[in-house]
Amino acid sequence: MAQESPRLSGERKELPIERGFPIERINEIAEKEGRAKQWYRPIYTMHKWWARRPGCLFRAISLYALLDDPDKVNIYEPGENGTLDDYGAGHSDVEKLIENVDMADPESLWELYTKDVRIGDKKILDPFMGGGTSLVEASRFGVEADGYDLNPVAWFITKKELEAGETSVDELKEAFQQVKSDVADEILNYYKTDCPHGHHDADVMYNFWVKEIDCRSCGHTVPLHQDFRIGKGRYENDNKYNILCPDCESVFLADEWREECSCDECGYEFVPEQGNVDYGKYICSECGQKYSITEQISEGDEFDLHLCAIEYYCRHCDEKGESKSTVKGYKSATSEDRERYRKAKQEWENSDSLHQFVPNKPIRSGWKVSNYEFEGHMTGGGNLPRHGIENWTDMYNDRQLLSLSKIIEAIENLEDQNVKEYLLLTLSGTLRTNSMMVGYDYSYNKIVNIFKSNSFDPPREMCEGNVWGTEYGRGTFESIWDMVKRGVEYANAPTERYVKNGETYETEEFSQPIGQNTTVHQGDMRLIEAENEYDAVITDPPYYNNILYSELSDFFYVWLKPMLEDEYECFEPEHTPRAESIVVNPASNKGDEEFESELKQAFSRINTALKQDGVVTFTYHHSSSESWGELLESLCETGFEVTATYPINSDLNKFMKGESVSFDIVIVARPAGDRHPISWNSLRRDIVRTAKQTHQRLTENRDLSDGNIGVIEMGRAFHEYSKHHGKVQRDGEIMTAKEVVDEIYGIIQQGSDIGEVDVFLDLLEIKDPTYNDLNMLTRGTSANSDEMKQIQLYRMESGEFVLGTWDDEKRLAYIQERVNNNDSNGLTPLDKAQFLRYRYEHGKSIQDYLEKWTVSDDLRKLCQELADASGDDVYRRILGGDRTIGDY
What is the DSSP code (8-state) at residue 735? P
Residue 497 has pLDDT above 80, yes or no: yes
Residue 196 — very low, low, confident or very high, per pLDDT cuts 50/70/90? very high
Q: Mean pLDDT, to the nearest integer, of 312-330?
A: 97
Residue 527 has pLDDT above 50, yes or no: yes
Span 778-788, pLDDT tens digits: 765 667 899 99
Rounded to whole angstroms, how far apart are CA atoms 770 and 803?
9
Span 349-369, pLDDT tens digits: 999 999 999 999 999 999 999
Pairing of strands 678-679, 728-730: parallel
Rounded to whole angstroms, how far apart are CA atoms 498 and 54?
13
Q: In one letter, which amino acid is 228?
A: F
pLDDT of residue 654: 34
Q: Mean pLDDT, to the nearest integer, of 633-655?
A: 75
Q: Mean pLDDT, to the nearest integer, of 414-436?
A: 98
Examine residue 777 and state whether it is found in any structural domain, yes or no. Answer: yes
Residue 795 backbone dihedrals phi, psi, to 5 degrees: -160, 160
Examine residue 393 and state whether it is found in any structural domain, yes or no. Answer: yes
Dihedral over alpha carbons 526, 530, 535, 541 (to 10 degrees): -10
Burial class (CB in 10 A: 0-12, 13-18, 19+), 194: middle
Residue 624 — very low, low, confident or very high, per pLDDT cuts 50/70/90? low
Residue 864 — very low, low, confident or very high, per pLDDT cuts 50/70/90? confident
Q: How many CB atoms lie within 10 A of CB 400?
A: 22
Residue 85 has pLDDT above 80, yes or no: no
| Domain coverage including residue 256 | 176-485
Residue 885 — very low, low, confident or very high, per pLDDT cuts 50/70/90? very low
DSSP 102-122: -SS---TGGGGTTSEEEE-S-
Span 781-833, pLDDT tens digits: 667 899 999 999 999 998 899 999 999 999 999 999 888 887 666 899 999 99
Select from 485, 502, 518 the last residue of a domain. Answer: 485
Examine residue 506 and state whether it is found in any structural domain, yes or no. Answer: no
pLDDT of residue 754: 59
Q: In one letter, which amino acid is 787?
A: E
Rounded to whole angstroms, how far apart are CA atoms 59 and 304?
51
Residue pair 745/625 in contact (Cβ under 8 Å)? The answer is: yes
Residue 880 — very low, low, confident or very high, per pLDDT cuts 50/70/90? low
Q: Mean pLDDT, to the nearest integer, of 41-45?
A: 97
Select from 485, 503, 528 the last residue of a domain. Answer: 485
Q: Residue 301, CB half-sphere, CA atoms under 13 Å: how many?
A: 19
pLDDT of residue 884: 42
Q: Mean pLDDT, to the nearest integer, of 323-340?
A: 97
pLDDT of residue 58: 97
Examine residue 297 and state whether it is found in any structural domain, yes or no. Answer: yes
3-class secondary structure, 263? coil
Examine residue 331 and state whether it is found in any structural domain, yes or no. Answer: yes
Select from 456, 485, 514 the last residue of a domain. Answer: 485
Cα separations in angstroms, 381 against 338, 384, 460, 578, 654: 34, 10, 18, 17, 16
Examine residue 78 and state whether it is found in any structural domain, yes or no. Answer: no
pLDDT of residue 781: 60
Span 135-159, pLDDT tens digits: 999 999 999 999 999 999 999 999 9
Examine residue 82 and state whether it is found in any structural domain, yes or no. Answer: no
Cross-strand bridge partners of residue 283: 290
The residue among 468, 853, 794, 816 whose CA lies nearest residue 660 is: 794
Residue 91 — very low, low, confident or very high, per pLDDT cuts 50/70/90? low
Rounded to whole angstroms, how far apart are CA atoms 40 and 351?
43
Residue 393 has pLDDT above 70, yes or no: yes
DSSP 604-661: HHHHHHEEEEEEEEEEEEE-SHHHHHHHHHHHHHTTEEEEEEEEE--S----BTTB--
Work out the mean pLDDT of the chain and round it to a whole number: 90
Q: How many CB atoms lie within 10 A of CB 649?
A: 20
Give residues with Cβ within 8 angstroms of 858, minimum separation 6. Answer: 829
Rounded to whole angstroms, how far apart are CA atoms 195 and 203?
8
What is the DSSP code (8-state) at residue 585? B
Examine residue 618 and state whether it is found in any structural domain, yes or no. Answer: no
Number of domains in the chain: 2
Residue 631 has pLDDT above 90, yes or no: no
Q: Mean pLDDT, to the nearest integer, of 342-351?
A: 98
pLDDT of residue 627: 72
Q: How many CB atoms lie within 10 A of CB 576?
A: 24
pLDDT of residue 88: 55
Biggest CA–CA distance in the chain, Å, is 90
3-class secondary structure, 447? strand
Residue 251 — very low, low, confident or very high, per pLDDT cuts 50/70/90? very high
Residue 4 has pLDDT above 70, yes or no: no
Q: Label residues 427-453 b or e (16+ Cβ within 10 Å = b).
A: bbbbbbbbbbbbbbebeebbbbbbbee
Give residues with Cβ within 8 angstroms of 791, minimum separation 6. Answer: 756, 804, 814
Residues of the chain with pLDDT > 70, as a percent, come to: 93
